[in-house]
Amino acid sequence: MPLVRQILRRLGYRRNSGKCSKVLLVCTANVDRSPMAEFLLKKMLFDEKLSGVEVFSRGVTAIENSLMSEIGQALLLSEDGIHAENHRSKKLQKKIFRKLTLFGDGILSCRFTEREVSIFYG
């Protein structure tokens, strides 16, 4: 959880500030990495009783409304008790990207080849 808190602080999150921070998690298809990260981050925030953070995911080349992979769903359910069967992929739209960067919210890329999460600021 310290890493999550550190990332949120870098995004300008302050507990009880009244400002809703937005975190967008991005991967290629939005059927594995970014939705898994979205569900896990939401669970971590809930478990730590951190509110005021909106978390969502998109795919750069996503085919709209595809199901999350069965492997990803099984991992989330077996390891964390998270039901992800209702997830449907969504493509990253330019207007969402512009809006997030304009207001200084965070965009995290979920890259398979990297061990670190990349954080981009507007």
Residue 98 pLDDT: 74
Residue spans of the domains in the chain: they are: 2-10+22-120
Residue 22 pLDDT: 82
Q: Which two tokens stand for residue 112?
A: 């398979």
**CATH number belonging to the domain at 2-10+22-120, selected among 3.30.360.10, 3.40.640.10, 3.40.50.2300, 3.30.70.360:** 3.40.50.2300
Q: Are 30 and 90 in contact (CB under 8 A)?
A: yes
**pLDDT < 70 stretches in the chain:** 1-4, 7, 10-20, 101-108, 110-122
Residue 78 pLDDT: 92
The amino acid that residue 85 corresponds to is E
pTM for the structure as a whole: 0.78
Residue 114 pLDDT: 45
Give, as one character, the DSSP assignment of residue 115.
S
Give the burial class of 8: count Cβ atoms within 10 A of its Cβ; 0-12 exposed, 13-18 middle, 19 or more buried: buried
Residue 99 pLDDT: 75
Q: Which two tokens stand for residue 100?
A: 């997030």
